Structure 1
Amino acid sequence: MKFPKPEPEEPRFVLVPLVDVLLAVFLFLAVLAFTTPPVSVFVRLPEGSGPQLPQTVLNLTLTAEGKLFVGRREVSLDELKKLLKEKEVSAVNLFADARTPYERVAKVLSTLQEAGIRAVNLALKKAR
């Protein structure tokens, strides 16, 4: 008995397996991105039982006239020292006007140093 030869099917492009593979690759890369430590050299850090230090950042604004503001409240250098100790500030962001005299900026930085602040970030506007 002779069986009829099946007619060849036209090749077709099936998208479902391609989408499945791409989804699996995407999920793999997403998981990998969030589990890889963001350092260039991997080290195993020791464990400690000490208290965690609070990370309080204070924003200071220094106007062109030399006025110092914490938020919207104007403060003197002495008030700033007291405020830094009361709030246990660990870092300061300083927004100084470009026209502020350097002497005034230096006094504020000196006050921050006397108060024990070691991390001071000077805010800049990106050049065009």
Structure 2
Amino acid sequence: MQLPPDEESRLTINIVPMIDVVFAVLAFFILSTLYLTRAEGLPVALPRATTAESQEATLTLTITAEGNLFLGQQPVTLEALSDEVQALIEPGQTAMVTVRADMATPHGQVVAAMDRIRDLDGVRLGIATQRP
């Protein structure tokens, strides 16, 4: 009596679903990175500095070339600046406020804004620059 030969089924690994998942994760990280770069604030031409260091900012104060002030994305006046910053900071916590001033902004406008913020307790100031 003869038995039929055993048909060995070949085992295969289908990597197409894995490639789909890898591309989906890659697309997520690319899109989230693009969003993070836009979240910094309004577009301004930052001054260049070779000694620039990266720091975590709690709040961002943007001063445009025309001298307009924006706390985050919201417009704010110089008179209301300290009250707005104080409202966004939790009591007893230290906050880092980064000033993103355009190169064409008058120096007096930047100093006046920084002077208003410096009077607040628990607030540290930083000036945003970009590397040359």
Q: TM-score, normalised by structure 2?
A: 0.50
1:56/1:71 CA distance change after superposition, 3 Å:
closer
Matched, 1:111 2:104: no
Aligned-partner SS, 2:79: helix
1:61 aligns with 2:62: yes
Helix, strand or coil at the partner of 1:77? coil
Q: What SS does structure 2 have at the residue aligned with 1:104?
A: helix
Provide closer, same or farther for how the CA distance between residues 106 and 117 of structure 1 changes in structure 2, counting only shifts above 3 A. Answer: farther
The one-letter code matched in structure 2 to 1:84 is V
Q: Summarize the alignment of residues 14-93 of structure 1 with structure 2, pairs less than 5 Å apart.
A: 57-88=58-89, 90-93=95-98
The equivalent residue for 1:95 is 100
Deviation at 1:110, TM superposition (A): 0.4
State the AA in 2 paired with 1:100. Answer: T
- Distance in 2, matches of 1:69 and 1:117, equals 21
| TM-score, structure 1 normalization | 0.51
> 1:122 corresponds to which residue?
127
1:118 shift after superposition: 4.2
Number of residues of Structure 1 aligned to a counterpart in Structure 2: 73
**Larger relative contact order, structure 1 or 2 (CA cutoff 8 Å, min sep 6):** 2
Larger Rg: 1
* Structure 1 ranges of 4+ moved more than 2 A: 115-118
